[in-house]
Homo-oligomer: A and B are copies of this chain.
Amino acid sequence: MQHSSKMNTSDQLMLTAIDLMSEKGYNGVSTKEIAEKAGFSEKTLFRHFGNKRNILATAFNRFHYGPEMDSIFFDQIKWNLKADLQLISATYQGNMDRNRKLIKISQKMETDEHNELKKLTHDYPRQLKKYLTQYFSEMIRQKKVIQTDPEIQARMFLVMNYGAFMHGLETSLPEKDFISESVQLFTRGLSP
């Protein structure tokens, strides 16, 4: 028995499942492998979770990080393009990084799979896009940004951040200077 005294059985099983599934996908990992790697018997795994599916669902609910954009758009925006985009980008990347393993699992799932993991790659970004569109709209009104379609700019900003994150995920290399340089580009490209 090699159990850590700081973490309970369920957590250990779930974290191990997340690790393994993010590498091999849901179908590529057996309940036996999860249990062994976590240091428990397969029987114990089933006692705690009932079935394989429930390991992932419970792990998601337990360990994912929700979006942190509400407080930003309501409390921290300074209406300075550069500073704001810096903050938004840093927050987005930080949040995505914290969820990176769950995102990887989601990616490797069946395309038509309907599960909560999709929140990370669909619902949250959609919400962020809405906020960002409103932000650009107001910046245009204040004439701090050139006259342009706010929704398109929001999409561009998100797509660039998303691409940087995904690229980093696949190469396991951090995107050095990405945030400051991308914000520079957007600031130069959008300032009147």
Contact in complex: A177, B163 (CB < 8 Å): no
Q: How far is the CA of A171 from the CA of B129 in the complex (A)?
A: 14
Q: How far is the CA of A161 from the CA of B111 in the complex (A)?
A: 22
Contact in complex: B152, A181 (CB < 8 Å): yes
Contact in complex: A110, B160 (CB < 8 Å): no
Q: Is A112 on the interface with B (CB-CB < 8 A)?
A: yes
Q: With contacts A25-B25, A25-B108, A104-B111 known, is A175 near B189, CB below 8 A?
A: no
Q: With contacts A161-B163, A167-B162, A189-B188 known, is A111 near B156, CB below 8 A?
A: no
Q: With contacts A28-B27, A110-B24 known, is A166 near B156, CB below 8 A?
A: no
Return the chain B residue nearest A185 by Cβ: B189
Return the chain B residue nearest A172 by Cβ: B111
